[in-house]
Amino acid sequence: MAQPQIEELNLLHAHVCQALGVPTRLQILYALHDQPTRVNALAEMLKTPQSSISRHLAVLRQRSLVLAERNGTEVTYRLADDRIIEVLDLMRLVLRDALERQSNILN
Amino acid sequence: MAQPQIEELNLLHAHVCQALGVPTRLQILYALHDQPTRVNALAEMLKTPQSSISRHLAVLRQRSLVLAERNGTEVTYRLADDRIIEVLDLMRLVLRDALERQSNILN
DNA sequence: TTCATTTATTCGGAAAAGCGAATATATGAA
DNA sequence: TTCATATATTCGCTTTTCCGAATAAATGAA
């Protein structure tokens, strides 16, 4: 397959979005937006077992959201594309506005 | 709770993103961007059982992504916020670019 | 009330995704 | 080669999510 068909792109699209549906993975993406970070550093920052972080990173890597670079035994991850944060920020803004609208209705 | 805390907003954020991780739900959102649509019409358009569409719509409604309006026995759904499509389109563009980068590497 | 239509919910089961602990692998230093 | 460190993967297991079919609920017309 040279270019994925629309149907298939839709599947990939959902697959990528699904990767964003876990709080720890969102935290990882925001942390990597600050700066490229090693696996252990992420595990400490997020107070999460290393195996869990590593699995989440594998998911994010498979979905083209992050890139890995090895230096010796260390592996540093970075965002594959800063626009991912734009996506997340916009989604968060939309959510925030929706919540505000709801609370206005309640008052 | 008047204003959700950051921690809680993060959970909601992931919760909303998770709703985007199913192909049929993406199709629903894009269809609703074209125009507000009734449940049965969506079911026919997407060749999906009505119960399935209705469940997906309930998920999207709970996550503030769509709004429902009842007229008699019919219920018409619409996007809660057009920026949701901006989010999806930007994510799709990022994905497309990532795929292109990968195929360049392979060639 | 009864009936037809539309939508929502429940049911039962299958598939997917998550987790921490433990183990395996990879790399470089000694 | 042996050891230490960093990361990846596997192992059981639990929880969540999804599905189609069937049923229930809501609405309006007759």
d(CA A100, CA B76): 23
- Residue B23's closest CA among A65, A6, A13? A13
* Strand pairing class (A66-71; A37-38): unpaired
Looking at residue A1, its pLDDT comes to 42
Structure tokens at A83: 């626009």
Structure tokens at B8: 């809680």
Residue with tokens 């049929």: B24
Buried b vs exposed e over A61-71: b needs ≥16 C-beta within 10 Å?
Answer: eebbbbbeeee
B58-78 tens-digit pLDDT: 999 999 999 999 999 999 999
Residue with tokens 């309640």: A106
d(CA A99, CA A48): 29
d(CA B107, CA B105): 5
Element (H, E) at A95: helix A83-106
SS3 B14: helix
Structure tokens at A45: 């920052």
Structure tokens at B34: 């074209």
Of A20, A80, A93, the CB nearest to B98: A80
- Strand C proximal to A24 Cβ, under 7 A: yes
- Closest chain A residue by Cα to residue B20: A17
Domains of chain A: 6-80 (1.10.10.10)
CB contact under 8 A, A14 and B2: no
Structure tokens at A22: 């876990």
- Closest chain B residue by Cα to residue A97: B81
- Strand C proximal to B32 Cβ, under 7 A: no
CB contact under 8 A, B10 and A4: no
d(CA B57, CA B78): 10
Answer whether A103 touches B (CB < 8 Å). yes
A10-41 tens-digit pLDDT: 999 999 999 999 999 999 999 999 999 999 99
Residue B5 pLDDT class (50, 70, 90 cuts):
low
Task: Write down the ipTM of this complex.
Answer: 0.93
> CB of B39 within 8 A of CB of B53?
yes
The nearest CA of chain A is from the CA of B93 a distance in Å of: 9
A54-92 tens-digit pLDDT: 999 999 999 999 999 999 999 999 999 999 999 999 999
Looking at residue B1, its pLDDT comes to 42
CB contact under 8 A, A64 and B98: yes
Residues in chain B: 107
Structure tokens at B20: 């985007």
